[in-house]
A and B are shown apart, each in its own frame.
Chain A
Amino acid sequence: MNMQEFISIIEEEFDEVEKGTLTPTSSFRQMEGWSSMHALILIALVDNHFDVLLTGEELRGLNTIQDLYDLLASKKAEWLS
């Protein structure tokens, strides 16, 4: 999974995000109207697509798309291959 594929999956799931606007340095917390509901949507998305269960605590420590990608990569070694 490369970064571009990862970004398109996230853009697909979040109606609020215009396609092609996210970059690795985008902060999902600064997304307009970000709330705890979005956190649930993000946890469900990551679980459904990548079979990784993020805890609330892990998510709180993340800020950008790159942070999220790196965390998932550290949990799924096969991603980097």
Chain B
Amino acid sequence: MAFLKTENTRISAIYTCVPQKIERTEDYEWISMQERQLFTKTTGIIERRVASESTTCSDLCFEAANQLLNDLKCKNEIDLVLFVSQSPDYFLPATSIILQNRLGIPTKSMAFDVNLGCSGYVYGLSIASHFIQSGNIKKVLLLAGDKSTISTNYEDKSTFPLFGDAGTATLLEFDENANNWFFSMASDGKGKDAIIIEHGHSRHPYGTIEDENKEIELGIIRSKKHLKLNGMEVFNFALKEVAPSIKELLQFAKKEVGEVDYFVFHQANKLINDSVRKKLKIEEAKVPLSIDYYGNTSSASIPLTICKELSNQVLNENNKYLFSGFGVGFSWASVLLNLTDVKTKMIEYA
């Protein structure tokens, strides 16, 4: 576990953009009504947002970032554009650079992509705050999200009803009065096969027979171009690693569970979040959810949950938050930070 502390960074705005189109679990006819009900009960997912064929994750992030930069009038002050996603526009160049130009951010800025999913938002915050505390970088635009539905197959009940699309933009800036941030971060590549898209990149380029759909088990038909998810393995990983890593982070920061006002967890599955919450003995009201109406939105899940459930608290109160992201990789990361005077907005992409 890597433990890190950064200083002089504050978050001043978090904007989220989701597609307008809604898909409801109860309408997912590939599985029986009884299975749909059990799915909602277990995962918490009632409905989710799905991007149109021509919309990419970068389009959603662009919309969120464009409104944020216009509202806060700081387009020319951005020194770094970070794009955290596993659904970039192209193999190359990096999507962050395309977004720098599209958003009209000056060319003197840095831009690069970070290829992480569920843990990506916290990793993004860590990278941004390290640049900011160096002193020469004053404002960072962190863009996080995924269009996961591009790689899920309708006839795969283990992935299709789980994922929603979203893009987010977070503005971080130098503030010498900001509280310190504390991070814990870890990785375990033994879990690489638990969540994977096997074909399409250099290990297995497209064009083999295995790109065709195949029945894996009842209700699960997919090809190696599609997202594969071993729910049981991911579930066990989360139950094993998340609560202890949060406890260690609190020890590192010399804080108690009771001193944290809100815990914003990655939204993979309500059952996982309930289990982690019970292990850490946290009251239900301190753990907001967005999975119910947005599904698993990958690296957008934490900022989306804040925009949906905590917009008033982050603007008008000064509270202590613990964010925790965990999943694909496996990769997991948590951060303890204070939020106050943070502007939020929830945008629909037509």
Instruction: Tell me the A residues contacting B by CB distance below 8 Å.
Output: 15, 33, 35-41, 43-44, 47-48, 53-56, 59
> Could you tell me if B240 and A39 are in contact, using CB atoms closer than 8 angstroms?
no
Known interface pairs A41-B271, A44-B271, A48-B275. Does A53 touch B236 (Cβ–Cβ under 8 Å)? yes
For B206, list chain A residues within 8 Å (CB). none
> Could you tell me if B235 and A43 are in contact, using CB atoms closer than 8 angstroms?
yes
Which of B38, B230, B272 is in CB contact (< 8 Å) with A35? Answer: B38
> Could you tell me if A40 and B233 are in contact, using CB atoms closer than 8 angstroms?
no
> Could you tell me if B233 and A56 are in contact, using CB atoms closer than 8 angstroms?
yes
> Could you tell me if B275 and A47 are in contact, using CB atoms closer than 8 angstroms?
yes
Which of B35, B232, B278, B279 is in CB contact (< 8 Å) with A40? Answer: B232
For B240, list chain A residues within 8 Å (CB). 53
For B4, list chain A residues within 8 Å (CB). none
| Cα–Cα distance between A48 and B271 once the two chains are bound (Å) | 11
> Could you tell me if B34 and A40 are in contact, using CB atoms closer than 8 angstroms?
no
- In this complex, the interface size class of chain B, counting residues with CB under 8 Å from chain A, is 20 to 34
Which of A33, A35, A36, A40 is in CB contact (< 8 Å) with B271? Answer: A40
Interface residues of chain A: helix, strand, loop or mixed (majority)? helix
A75 to chain B, nearest CB (A): 14
> Could you tell me if B235 and A40 are in contact, using CB atoms closer than 8 angstroms?
yes
> Could you tell me if A37 and B232 are in contact, using CB atoms closer than 8 angstroms?
no
B118 to chain A, nearest CB (A): 17
Instruction: Tell me the B residues contacting A by CB distance below 8 Å.
Output: 34-35, 38-39, 41-42, 158, 230-233, 235-236, 239-240, 269, 271-272, 274-275, 278-279
For A38, list chain B residues within 8 Å (CB). 38
In the complex, the chain B residue whose C-beta lies closest to that of A57 is B232
Known interface pairs A33-B38, A37-B38. Does A44 touch B232 (Cβ–Cβ under 8 Å)? no
Interface-centre pick from B34, B230, B239 (highest chain A CB count, 10 A)? B239
> Could you tell me if B38 and A56 are in contact, using CB atoms closer than 8 angstroms?
no
A51 to chain B, nearest CB (A): 9
Would you mind naming 30 contact pairs between A and B with Cβ atoms under 8 Å apart?
A: A15-B41, A33-B35, A33-B38, A35-B38, A36-B158, A36-B231, A36-B232, A37-B38, A37-B39, A37-B42, A38-B38, A39-B232, A40-B231, A40-B235, A40-B271, A41-B42, A43-B232, A43-B235, A43-B236, A43-B239, A44-B235, A44-B239, A44-B275, A47-B239, A48-B278, A48-B279, A53-B236, A53-B240, A56-B232, A56-B233
A29 to chain B, nearest CB (A): 14
A68 to chain B, nearest CB (A): 16
Q: Lowest 3 CB-CB distances: which A-B pairs, in order? A: A56-B232, A37-B42, A37-B38
Interface-centre pick from A41, A47, A54 (highest chain B CB count, 10 A)? A47
Which of A15, A35, A36, A56 is in CB contact (< 8 Å) with B236? Answer: A56
> Could you tell me if A55 and B274 are in contact, using CB atoms closer than 8 angstroms?
no
| Cα–Cα distance between A39 and B235 once the two chains are bound (Å) | 11
Which of B38, B236, B269 is in CB contact (< 8 Å) with A55? Answer: B236
In the complex, the chain B residue whose C-beta lies closest to that of A54 is B236
Interface-centre pick from A38, A44, A56 (highest chain B CB count, 10 A)? A44
B35 to chain A, nearest CB (A): 6
| Cα–Cα distance between A35 and B232 once the two chains are bound (Å) | 12
For A43, list chain B residues within 8 Å (CB). 232, 235-236, 239
13 more CB-based (< 8 A) A-B contacts, given A37-B35, A44-B271, A47-B239: A37-B39, A37-B42, A39-B232, A40-B235, A40-B271, A43-B232, A43-B239, A44-B239, A47-B275, A48-B275, A48-B278, A53-B240, A56-B230
| Cα–Cα distance between A59 and B34 once the two chains are bound (Å) | 23
